[in-house]
Chain A
Amino acid sequence: MRQENTMTPLTLEQVDADGALRETAAAVAGDTRAAFLRRTGLLGGGALGGAALLGLVAEGAEAQSAGDRSILNFALTLEYLEAAFYREARRMGALEGELALFARVVGQHEDAHVRALRETLGRRAVARPRFDFRGTTESADTFTTTAIALEETGVGAYKGQAARIGSDAVLAAALAIHSVEARHTGWIRDLAGLNPAPVALDPPLTRAQTLRRVARTRFVVAAPRRRAGGGGGGGGGGGTPRFTG
């Protein structure tokens, strides 16, 4: 079997914590208040690199339920986190070879997931929090361990929500993202010399478990102060991560 490698697999729990994400968690929960809703999303296919990334179809009257919207905003928060992490890593320039390719390709995926979820949620999308990755993007080792932890958390988080989703369109989209997150996880684990698929059945994470993991990273330094406006999901703008490294 695979050799013990030099890298210690890091879980987000080990990264220490002060619960900075509680505010974001509260914001996610608070979003379920909203009563009406304009759009529901249907994710179309679409490869990267081309034009149409993910087509979201507005379905007018068929509104998302508050429960689904809450799940979508929960997912969006995780995707914001991942997207910002890879964006900062790319900007720091510490990665080489296939690790740099991984950060670029996976970062593009996470950016696309953010855009898709924001579009699906429309005006009900939570705003992007501000992040501080605390230097983890500055070396290949810390990038890798952190990426593993983030991707594993993403897989568990989507899995934990699947059976709670009401709408078929939302479920289909969540499943299509979920397995991509699992591919990311397998890829980065293999790059790290870890078994890409350590168990036969991947365990789910509840929303509370997920938020606790994220909170312990202290990567989220400020909950969104305003609701998402027309800021656009792509790069730049108000979503620029701040780093202290």
Chain B
Amino acid sequence: VELVDESAALQAGRDGTGGATRAELFKKAALGGGAFLGGGILISGFPGIAQAQGTGDVAILNFALLLEELEAAFYADALARGALTGEVLEFATVVGAHEATHVEALRSALGSAAIPRPTFAFRDVTAATAPFQATAVILEDTGVSAYNGQGTEIRASAVLAAAASIVSVEARHAAWIRRLTFGPAYSGGRANYPAPAVLDTPLTRQQVLTAVGQTGFIAS
């Protein structure tokens, strides 16, 4: 496993969105109680990243697949660790099954063009309820923004329709875990509501990949 800090090089080559992403990530890391590494760590040579950065629908589908693999593995890991109870356990079970279905659907659509299945390291984030929930909120919100951001990039109508069928499920997940995590008091205010804004802000692929890299969750 080759971990290389590439954040500077990455940002240098992009359109300046990396800074905002990083600030947002730091903010979210605070929320997650240190769930995320502070630095910008990407996995050099990890084929999924490269293939998810190309042009065209195949790259977009691989980008989506990478996110779905991350989510599916996160819930599977949390369930295996056995720390969750009650409705949080139910959430992880239901949502984990959805993400696994999304993975299979995307792999089936991509066939041999699909990226290899990554391996993940969630450290202690999946070992207790609080960091699990904080991370789940971020992953689901990020999923929504990621799909929304690709909508206008997608060429094939069938791919757009499939993405639309997935993104609203991710949004339901996000609302659910937000309610479980922050409700019913929502002491953090509007930003913590299940639906925190009038519009869900899209993220670019690069913003999402940078954020995913910064989690340090991808091991290889």
A197 and B94 in contact, given A163-B157, A183-B172 (Cβ under 8 angstroms): yes
| A228, B64: Cα distance in complex, Å | 41
> Hey, which chain B residues are within 8 Å of A191, CB to CB?
179
> Hey, which chain A residues are within 8 Å of B151, CB to CB?
162, 171-172, 175
User: For window 148-199 of chain A, which residues contact chain B by CB distance below 8 Å?
Assistant: 155, 158-159, 162-163, 168, 171-173, 175-187, 189-191, 195-197, 199
| A182, B162: Cα distance in complex, Å | 15
Q: Is the CB of A200 within 8 A of B200?
A: no
Q: Is the CB of B102 within 8 A of A200?
A: yes
> Hey, which chain B residues are within 8 Å of A98, CB to CB?
183-184
> Hey, which chain B residues are within 8 Å of A162, CB to CB?
151, 160-161, 164
User: For window 173-220 of chain B, which residues contact chain A by CB distance below 8 Å?
Assistant: 173-176, 179, 183-184, 186, 190, 193-202
| A190, B169: Cα distance in complex, Å | 14
Cβ of B166 under 8 Å from chain A: yes
Cβ of A112 under 8 Å from chain B: yes
- CB of A21, distance to nearest CB on chain B (Å): 23
> Hey, which chain A residues are within 8 Å of B93, CB to CB?
1
Cβ of A113 under 8 Å from chain B: yes
Q: Is the CB of A46 within 8 A of B199?
A: yes
> Hey, which chain B residues are within 8 Å of A112, CB to CB?
198
Which of A1, A175, A181, A197 is the one whose CB lies under 8 Å from B169? A197
A182 and B198 in contact, given A162-B164, A163-B157 (Cβ under 8 angstroms): no
Cβ of B135 under 8 Å from chain A: no
| Apart from the given pairs A45-B201, A46-B198, A176-B148, 15 other A-B contacts in the complex at a CB distance below 8 Å | A105-B193, A116-B198, A159-B161, A163-B157, A171-B151, A175-B147, A179-B148, A179-B167, A183-B172, A185-B168, A186-B171, A187-B194, A196-B179, A200-B101, A204-B161
Q: What interface size band does chain A fall in?
A: 35 or more
Cβ of B124 under 8 Å from chain A: no
Counting chain B CB atoms within 10 Å of each CB, which of A179, A182, A199 scores highest?
A179
A101 and B186 in contact, given A180-B200, A182-B168, A201-B169 (Cβ under 8 angstroms): yes
> Hey, which chain B residues are within 8 Å of A1, CB to CB?
90, 93-94
Q: Is the CB of A202 within 8 A of B183?
A: no
Q: Is the CB of A195 within 8 A of B164?
A: no
Which stretch in A48-56, A64-72, A135-143, A213-221 binds the other chain? A48-56
- CB of B180, distance to nearest CB on chain A (Å): 8
- CB of A183, distance to nearest CB on chain B (Å): 4
Q: Is the CB of A176 within 8 A of B199?
A: yes
| A163, B167: Cα distance in complex, Å | 14
Which of B160, B166, B194 is the one whose CB lies under 8 Å from A186? B194
Which of B90, B101, B158, B194 is the one whose CB lies under 8 Å from A201? B101
| A186, B195: Cα distance in complex, Å | 9
Cβ of B22 under 8 Å from chain A: no
> Hey, which chain B residues are within 8 Å of A163, CB to CB?
157-158, 160-161, 164
Cβ of A39 under 8 Å from chain B: no
Q: Is the CB of A195 within 8 A of B94?
A: yes
Q: Is the CB of B94 within 8 A of A190?
A: no
Q: Is the CB of B148 within 8 A of A182?
A: no
Please, which residue of chain B has its CB at the minimum distance from the CB of A43? Answer: B199
Cβ of A109 under 8 Å from chain B: yes
> Hey, which chain A residues are within 8 Å of B175, CB to CB?
182-187, 190, 196
Which of B105, B147, B148, B176 is the one whose CB lies under 8 Å from A190? B176
Which of A2, A108, A171, A204 is the one whose CB lies under 8 Å from B165? A204
> Hey, which chain A residues are within 8 Å of B198, CB to CB?
46-48, 53-54, 108-109, 112-113, 116, 180
